[in-house]
Copies of this chain bind each other. A is one copy, B any other.
Amino acid sequence: MAPLKVGIIGVGRIGRCHCASVASVPTKATVSMICDIYQPALDEVSAIFHVPKTTNDPIELINDPDVEAVVICSPTDQHAGQIMAAAKAGKMIFCEKPISLSLEIIDEVAAVVKEAGVMCFVAFQRRFDANFMRLKEAVTGGEVGDVHMMHIVSRDPSPPPVNYIKASGGLHNDMAVHDFDMARFLAGSEVAEVYCKGSCKVDPAIGEAGDIDTSLAMLTFENGVVATVDNSRKATYGYDQRVEVFGSKGMIQSNNKHANTCVVSNDESVSTCKAMAFFMDRYADAYRNEMVAFVDCAHEGKATPVGVEDGRAAYLIGKAAKQSMETGLPVKVADMS
């Protein structure tokens, strides 16, 4: 089978990462076209990866006959439109999260994608991380028995710029959404109810921008599993991403990743280095696995393992978390749509 012809919209940091992932499986896929409004980036990336076609116009890329699959790495507010355009053009789609910050638009996207009958892969890369895949395997394989409780810790090394936060849709939409997806991924059930406490403890500027930087949510699933999601915009010791699943037969926990395994013992302590501090280092393998999974699905005409409905479900949990935080009461996810 010929390599899948992939067009990438947006070749900033994450777009380049996806370029490299495609380039790492040359027998399966090739980057046939890239798009960016910033010409120097377009020139640089096309030279590095030998990309034959470039454009400043996303629609041109979407409709190009040399593009079979569209990878959308544009700014968030362009995601929905580009997904729908690509769906209407009959192209397979890979889209960075979030689909949109509006439920109405997400629903419209879902309808268009369904109507078009195309695969739309939503980029929750953590599902493709070795730790979380192992957790999923353990849960699915019954290693922990019936799941009783789960704990998800997800803390960033440091907050993004306040300008980013202002446009992010808020901590629950921008950051916790990964954890809400992880919770659904692991529990194998839908979240029925959310109770959440949020506050601004890291930086007052985040509060002034209308957001929070610290959140503790408790999720109750339809199947009775209860889970906590702990988020902070600042963990001094690096990217802190841990999950614990407890069940009738035992427990599985995933721990952080470190740049090396060395242990130093001296007259003060026994210590290792901090956790990895940059998400693209921490999830480098996950990003590559994710793109390879997309390419494999596209190649084999398989359904995506994570689609628009998953993006929608995580969005609704975030919305419920926000409302719970504001009202001080538990909120049913079913009331959010």
For the complex, what is the distance from the CA of A265 to the CA of B146, rounded to whole Å?
Answer: 14
Question: Which applies to chain A's interface (DSSP): helix, strand, loop or mixed?
Answer: mixed
A20 CB-CB contact with B under 8 Å: yes
Contact in complex: A265, B274 (CB < 8 Å): yes
List B contacts of A149 (CB < 8 A): 214, 216, 230, 232
Contact of A270 with B272 at beta-carbon distance under 8 Å, contacts A218-B195, A235-B251 already known: yes
Query: Taking CB as reference atom, which chain B residue is nearest A24?
Result: B20
Query: Taking CB as reference atom, which chain B residue is nearest A195?
Result: B195
A259 CB-CB contact with B under 8 Å: yes
For the complex, what is the distance from the CA of A47 to the CA of B235, rounded to whole Å?
Answer: 46
For the complex, what is the distance from the CA of A330 to the CA of B131, rounded to whole Å?
Answer: 34
List B contacts of A111 (CB < 8 A): none
Contact in complex: A252, B267 (CB < 8 Å): no
List B contacts of A53 (CB < 8 A): none
Of B202, B254, B270, which one neighbours A260 at CB under 8 angstroms? B254
A1 CB-CB contact with B under 8 Å: no
List B contacts of A237 (CB < 8 A): 250-251, 265-267, 269-270
List B contacts of A24 (CB < 8 A): 20
List B contacts of A230 (CB < 8 A): 149, 151, 228, 246
| Copies of this protein chain in the complex | 4
Contact in complex: B261, A256 (CB < 8 Å): yes
Query: Taking CB as reference atom, which chain B residue is nearest A198?
Result: B226
For the complex, what is the distance from the CA of A274 to the CA of B133, rounded to whole Å?
Answer: 16
Of B134, B146, B259, B261, which one neighbours A255 at CB under 8 angstroms? B261
Query: Taking CB as reference atom, which chain B residue is nearest A143?
Result: B264
A249 CB-CB contact with B under 8 Å: yes
List B contacts of A130 (CB < 8 A): 259-260
A201 CB-CB contact with B under 8 Å: yes
Contact in complex: B262, A148 (CB < 8 Å): no
Query: Taking CB as reference atom, which chain B residue is nearest A269?
Result: B271
Contact of A226 with B236 at beta-carbon distance under 8 Å, contacts A250-B267, A254-B261, A267-B250 already known: no
A49 CB-CB contact with B under 8 Å: yes
For the complex, what is the distance from the CA of A89 to the CA of B286, rounded to whole Å?
Answer: 44
Would you give 12 A-B contacts (Cβ < 8 Å), ordered by A?
Answer: A131-B262, A134-B260, A149-B216, A151-B230, A202-B248, A216-B226, A253-B265, A255-B262, A255-B263, A257-B261, A264-B269, A269-B272
6 new A-B contacts, CB < 8 A, other than A131-B261, A134-B259, are A144-B264, A151-B228, A240-B265, A251-B265, A254-B262, A330-B330
